[in-house]
Amino acid sequence: MDDVRDKGELARIIERFTKKDGTYQTVIPALRFIRASHMSEPVHSVYEPSLCIVAQGSKLVMLGNENFQYGVGSYLTASVHLPITGQVIEASLETPYLSLQLQLDMKQILDIIRASDQEAKPDGVVRRGLMINHLNDTLYDATLRFVRLLETPHDIPILAPTMMREMVYRVIQNDQGEVLRQFALMGSHTQRIAKVIKRLNRDFSLPLRIEKLAEEATMSPSSLYYYFKKITAMSPIQYQKRLRLQEARRLLLSDQIEAAEAAFQVGYESPSHFSRDYARLFNEPPKRDIRRLRETMKNEKIRSY
């Protein structure tokens, strides 16, 4: 594959629109920029279907027990909602970590597949919902032209949809393009699991009934379990638990509520069970973890001024 030319221009544009550390929503609704001037502690979140490109620095993403590291010259695609742990591992004040995230629309991906005459029947091969790939010249050039639109906002309504479509097309053309194709193909095992994942993200606080989910996906419970773990690196129960714990942490950090109340809100019946699971994922019990996070956020705010 071709090497990426002028890697610095994308970083310069992102830096121009991100004066301080943080996540910035651009005037293009599907596009966000991220900036960090130091290595971060692990951050737990849910990746939406998206394309992530690092322009400067590097990042480590953990999905289940698997690690994915990417930086300049590579990109990440998430094809479904995935609870991950992300950590900036290369950044400094002089050369901050800079990246972009483009939200993906599976309907648009399917339209592009059909228009490019690349539609294929499901092949039965199930791939991870998160992949790292090499950033070649064609995708980099398309990305650079896309972010340059921020410098001419009046062009965005006309040109952004076309340029975004080109970026998605370039991803589909790359080595791991099959990952996106499999999630867009109607009737594939992967597409069925994507519907189950969507349901779990919506109803994570409700009791999990594998038989009911399998029936809705027109799969056997054993097939559902097998394909779900292939795609997410987790079982459905582990996936639901991650969602519950991450939402509980968000509630505890943003609201003045007790751990027991947060536990009940996210679907736990036992506060002690919740505290054990919480400490296992976040390495500290809820009260101590939230106190540490608030102190970290306070220090970060002071440091940004």
Of 13-17, 47-51, 106-110, 207-211, the one with minimum mean pLDDT is 106-110
pLDDT at 225: 95
Q: What single-letter DSSP state applies at residue 149?
A: G
Of 31-40, 104-113, 139-148, 274-283, the one with minimum mean pLDDT is 104-113
What are the DSSP calls for 133-163, one per residue?
EE--HHHHHHHHHHHHGGGSGGGHHHHHHHH
Q: Which residue in 128, 124, 144 sits closest to 136, CA to CA? A: 144
- Domains in the chain: ranges and CATH: 7-176 (2.60.120.10), 238-303 (1.10.10.60)
Q: Give the pLDDT confidence of 137-167 residue by residue, as tens digits.
A: 999 999 999 999 999 999 999 999 999 999 9
- Is the pLDDT assigned to residue 298 strictly greater than 80? no
Could you give the C-alpha distances from 148 to 50, 87, 302, in angstroms and in order?
20, 27, 32
**pTM of the prediction?**
0.87
Q: Which residue in 171, 31, 40 sits closest to 100, CA to CA? A: 31
Return the SS3 of 81. coil
Q: Quick one: average pLDDT of 277-299? A: 90
Cα separation, 125 vs 188, in Å, equals: 9
Return the SS3 of 47. strand
What does DSSP say about strands 66-71 and 97-103: parallel, antiparallel, or unpaired? unpaired
Q: Which residue in 7, 43, 8 sits closest to 22, CA to CA? A: 43
Q: Which residue in 160, 232, 221 sits closest to 190, CA to CA? A: 232
Mean pLDDT, the chain, integer: 89
Query: Max CA-CA distance within the chain?
Result: 56
Tokens of 15: 């830096």
